[in-house]
A and B are shown apart, each in its own frame.
Chain A
Amino acid sequence: MSKPPPLLQIKEMRRPAFGPVSLDVSAGECICIFGPSGCGKSQLLRAIADLDPHEGEALLDGAACHETAPDVWRTHVGLLPPESAWWLPQVAEHFHNGMPVPLEQLALTPAIMDKPVAQLSSGEKQRLALLRLLANRPRVLLLDEPTANLDPENTHRVEAVIGEYRRVRTAAVIWVSHDRGQGVRVAQRQFEVVDGRLQARGAERMP
């Protein structure tokens, strides 16, 4: 019997700032991508989410992105941008699919749901944006520096919540980070962007 295809396949993906990038991510696997600012990490995530025109192809469970309706693709392949955006006055109005994880796991209280978005701190916004994304139950998570605005305690809480989601739902995760230690903590494989291409770093495995 042949091995099932990886959950997410990226084939020869290119943008002016990077590429070609080819990468397979299995179900339940997390990979971390490092690289200096402006090296194209965010653009790679945006291209995988099909938010920018690009060459090459991404496949989810063998189904090509360009053959999948864009809104369906982006529901399954969920991007968490570095800055969250909110379009309605109240926090709760952005959550229609229920809460994926108890708020307490991210050190938030239920009262925050009744708050106006304008009164949230950047750290609260970042954690709520993660919950909003997870509420979609995406099969692939594309995380663009999800802990950039957080203190060490909340960083660890976010890492734990994402790790649990990945294991329970066997999701594939691509995590862009600046923090080497974080890569060791959360990822099974680590890559560095060098001259617009992915270069594997020493295989440091989490138990």
Chain B
Amino acid sequence: MITLGVADLAVAALLVVSLALLSLRLRTGLGGQILLGAARTAIQLSLIGLVLKALFANAHLHWVALMSLIMLLIAGREVMVRQERRFTGWWGYAVGTFSMFLSSFAVTVFALIVVLGNTPWYAPQYAIPLLGMLLGNTMNGIAIAMDRLTNAAWEQRAVIEARLALGHSWDAAVAEMRRQAIRSGMIPIINAMAAAGVVSLPGMMTGQILAGAAPVDAVKYQIMIMFLIVVGTGLGTLAAVTIGAKHLFDGRQRLCLERLRKS
């Protein structure tokens, strides 16, 4: 594998700076954001490189667990801030985080123990990248689905309450919105599966090939990861939307929009 030096990265950075200058000239208002984003990428990835180096050198379960927990908490925050009308209080954070924990962790542990069968099963070279890919995708699915659900409840308050007033259960009154929310959460990853290899070469496979792995081996890994991501995103989205839809109503099946933050 060709290793990159500082000079190689500097050349790539020059390209980004040129793009920022071009954006500045065109007054897109994006110049600053491009540079800030590039700086964050460089700093965050360098730091995670150091953290992973230390973690690989000390491959104990508790360090892997701590790292996983931090990743989960950050992903949970990301899910929360991406929702326009999230639940107020700790619910706004907990619904997404709990659902991600449920799906991503379960699927990752299953893959590590049953599919990969590595010893120890928590070996960080496998556990952390797997969990990272699962969290990243599950996070997107849950954020989109929850945003859709809470917005729909807000906008279609009249429909929900008309149905409640006609004696429909909360479950029936919100069923269509729940279905739509789950669909919007899962469509991107389903589309990604359909486009994989035809339109886009998935990142992990590309990385393995660049690192010198045989394409056939890289493809096998990518297929496994794709399946895990779909299952993780699907389960996470289902869990979040199910819990979220229930929390829109109180014990007397009244719609409680005051549980949503005003955007």
- Contacts from A to B (Cβ < 8 Å): 49-53, 66, 70-72, 74-76, 78-81, 83-87, 132-133, 136
Known: A71-B169, A76-B167, A86-B159. 5 other contacts (CB 8 A): A53-B252, A74-B166, A85-B156, A86-B162, A87-B163
Q: Hey, which chain B residues are within 8 Å of A66, CB to CB? A: 252
- Contacts from B to A (Cβ < 8 Å): 156, 158-159, 161-169, 176, 250, 252-255
CA distance A75 to B158 in the complex (A): 17
CA distance A74 to B249 in the complex (A): 15
A87 touches B161 (CB 8 A): no
Q: Hey, which chain A residues are within 8 Å of B159, CB to CB? A: 85-87
Q: Which residue of B lies closest to A73 (CB)?
A: B167
B253 touches A87 (CB 8 A): no
- Given A50-B252, A50-B254; A85-B167 close (CB under 8 Å): no
Q: Which residue of B lies closest to A52 (CB)?
A: B254
CA distance A86 to B254 in the complex (A): 18
Q: Can you list 21 A-B contacts with CB-CB less than 8 angstroms, sorted by A residue number? A: A51-B161, A51-B165, A51-B255, A52-B254, A70-B164, A70-B253, A71-B164, A71-B168, A71-B169, A74-B166, A75-B166, A75-B167, A78-B165, A80-B165, A81-B165, A85-B158, A85-B161, A86-B162, A87-B156, A132-B166, A136-B166
Q: Which residue of B lies closest to A53 (CB)?
A: B254
Minimum C-beta distance from A93 to chain B (A): 12
Q: Hey, which chain A residues are within 8 Å of B168, CB to CB? A: 71
Give the residue of A53, A71, A87 whose beta carbon is less than 8 angstroms from that of B176.
A87
Q: Which residue of B lies closest to A49 (CB)?
A: B165
